[in-house]
Amino acid sequence: MSEHADTPDGKPIDRSIPSALADLFQEVILDHYRRPRNKGSLEEPTHTITMNNPLCGDVIELSLSVKADRIDDVRYEGRGCSISQAAVSMMTERLKGAKLGEARALSEKFTRLLHGEEDLQRDEKLGDLRALAGVSKFPVRIKCALLGFNCLDELVGEPAAGDREPGSGQGEQR
């Protein structure tokens, strides 16, 4: 828009969108940010937890309905940046109908994706979450992308915990 011709050091302004940013804020991410899936609360959750990121104020409340080792239904409430909110929305899509072991595996894979493991960008199990691979270039934003999964880990146990009892994390059970 602007008529201002140059940057503070006198170079011409490059008005193109830097590719790292285009990779970070992919359209599918903005879509989940603006049209969140599974947002709301469950009438009778078996597990629920609220976590926040005290540094930036992002908040997510995750509710699961677990029946016989399977996630029957899932909802979340939350506020925050596009990365934290899109990631949790995408996560819930992958969780419906998943076994607890599968949920733990998803969490573990997603964490590896965020740390730059490129093979995982082709892993269909991750679904839309693959769009968050660009976060690996922005280390300070990794904690945003993980907030929803941190809730999940607390509720169904860390991936490394193997076959721990569901809900044996610190999440409050109802």
Partner 1 sequence: MKTAVVAPPYDIDAVRQDFPILQERVNGQPLVYLDSAASSQRPRAVIDAIRQHYETSHANVHRGAHELSVRATEAYENARSCVAAHIGAEDAAEIVFVRGTTEAINLVAGSLGSTRFGPGDEILLTKMEHHSNIVPWQLLAERTGATLRFVDVSPEGRLVMDDYGRMLSERTRLVGVTHISNSLGVINPVKEIAALAHEAGALCLVDGAQAAPHLALDMGALGCDFYAFSGHKMCGPTGIGALWGRRAILEEMPPYQGGGEMIDSVTLEGSTWAPLPHKFEAGTPNIAGAVGLGAAIRYLEGVGLDAIRRYETELAGYALERLGEIEGLRIYGPADGRVGVLSFTYRDVHAHDLATILDQRGIAIRAGHHCNQPLMEHLGVDATARASLYLYNTPREVDALCEALHLAGELFCRTH
Residues that bind partner 1 (CB under 8 A): 1-5, 7-9, 13, 15, 17-18, 20-22, 24-25, 27, 30-31, 34, 55-58, 79-83, 138, 140-141, 144
Which residue number, 48 or 84, has a Cβ lying nearer to partner 1?
84
Q: 136: which residues sit within 8 A by CB, 6+ positions away?
A: 113, 114, 115, 116, 142
d(CA 71, CA 90): 15
Quote the DSSP letter at residue 108.
H
Which residue number, 95 or 132, has a Cβ lying nearer to partner 1?
132
Phi and psi angles of residue 28, each rounded to the nearest 5 degrees, phi first: -65, -30
From 76, 85, 99, select the one nearest 156 (Cα to Cα): 99
At closest approach, how far in Å is the CB of 108 from partner 1?
Answer: 25
Which residue number, 93 or 138, has a Cβ lying nearer to partner 1?
138
At closest approach, how far in Å is the CB of 16 from partner 1?
Answer: 9
Which residue number, 56 or 105, has a Cβ lying nearer to partner 1?
56
At closest approach, how far in Å is the CB of 61 from partner 1?
Answer: 14
From 62, 63, 102, select the one nearest 84 (Cα to Cα): 62
At closest approach, how far in Å is the CB of 49 from partner 1?
Answer: 20
d(CA 59, CA 54): 9
